[in-house]
Structure 1
Amino acid sequence: MRTNLDFSPLFRSSIGFERMLNALDAASRAETIDNWPPYDIVKAGEDEYRIAMAVAGFSQDELAIIQEQNMLVVSGQKANGEDVQYLHRGIAGRSFQRRFELADHVKVVDAGLVNGLLTIDLKREIPEEMKPRQIEIGTGNAMPKAETKQIDAETQAA
């Protein structure tokens, strides 16, 4: 039994977390879960990841990998071939589309198909302007002190 959560109170009381809350909201609304094709997600290093997907029976020409902003879409479409009469069909050849939500600054580095296993290498590359940087503290170049003026007020007795 799935319970739908209401994230509207979090939207009202948080600033800058819209993407995370939208992702949680979208994940809670997922209706059907398709388990095909099977895949693994491996953390290969500090900022490196690999998706391995079993796509037996698909050739390179029948697969497509598209990255749009923070979404990676892997799809497979079998080419319409000759009309074959199967006595038993155990290898799935149906079309598929698998979506992966990527974090900010994650890019596809490489992809390969070997022995029916599609591997997609990903890497998080943070731009230089977003990395922490050391600020040196200078000496002798301080701003000149502002002159202080004193206002003399004469007091008159009545």
Structure 2
Amino acid sequence: MSRMSAFSSPFLLGFDEVERVLDRVAKGANEGYPPYNIERLDPTESKLLEGNGGSGDVLRITLAVAGFTRDQLDVTLEESQLVIRGRQVDDQSRQYLHRGIAARQFQRSFVLAEGIEILGAELKDGLLSIDLARPEPEKVVRKIAIDVKE
């Protein structure tokens, strides 16, 4: 039995990649750790934007990564996905009487639209902030010539 998709209409040509992205996002929606915020910034608020100029939106993703050091965090761009990984290892030399803070690993992914630029990342006070720029798209109008065949 094959799965019917909203993108199987003959009027939606070339949207296969959009369907794959939506599937990827739906699978990642169940992740609960680490908590994060996504906010729109005034371009003057981003220290990472200085010297990059340009117009458009500036977005900031902030993840709560208390207890992680810079060396335990990894931020990569894999195709059109921003992937943040955190890896902590248990310190076997410690003897806990109560253990409420577990060493843990995580991976959080965000699918980025075409044209989004990553300006940089900053770790401060247990918060990892990643600034992104979404430039204003060019408005392109192209006239298509009509050939006459006789």
Q: Give yes or no for the alignment of 1:21 onto 2:40.
A: no
Residue 132 of structure 2 aligns with which residue? Answer: 122
| 4+ aligned runs moved over 4 Å, structure 1 | none
- Displacement of 1:111: 0.5
User: Structure 1-normalised TM-score?
Assistant: 0.67
- Paired AA for residue 20 in structure 2: N
Structure 1 unaligned regions, length at least 5: 136-158
Q: 1:43 aligned to 2:40?
A: yes
1:70 to 80, 85, 105: 80
Identity of aligned residues (%): 37
Report the AA paired with residue 19 of structure 1: E
2: distance between equivalents of 1:87 and 1:34?
Answer: 30
The one-letter amino acid of 1:132's match is K
Which amino acid in structure 1 is aligned with residue 40 of structure 2? K
Superposition deviation, residue 110 in structure 1: 1.4
Higher mean C-alpha deviation, range 10-19 or range 71-80: 10-19
Cα distance in structure 2, aligned partners of 1:131 and 1:31: 31
Residue 88 of structure 1 deviates from its aligned partner by 2.4
Alignment deviations for residues 99-123 of structure 1 (CA, whole Å, 9 cap, x no partner): 1111111121011111111001011
The structure carrying a bigger strand percent of its residues is 2
Is structure 2 residue 31 aligned with structure 1 residue 34?
yes
CA distance in 1, matches of 2:101, 2:134: 35
Deviation of the 1:12 alpha carbon: 4.2
2:119 and 2:131 in contact (8 A); partners too: yes
* Cα root mean square deviation, aligned: 2.7
- 1:85–1:124 distance in 2 versus 1, CA, 3 Å: same
Q: Choose the corresponding residue for 1:83, options 93, 104, 107.
A: 93
Query: Highest Rg: 1 or 2?
Result: 1
The SS at the match of 1:47 is strand
Unaligned runs of 5+ in 2: 43-55, 143-150
User: TM (normalized to structure 2)?
Assistant: 0.71
Residue pairs, 1:3-14, within 5 angstroms: 6-7=4-5, 10-13=7-10, 14=12
Task: Give the counterpart of 1:132 among 136, 139, 146.
Answer: 139
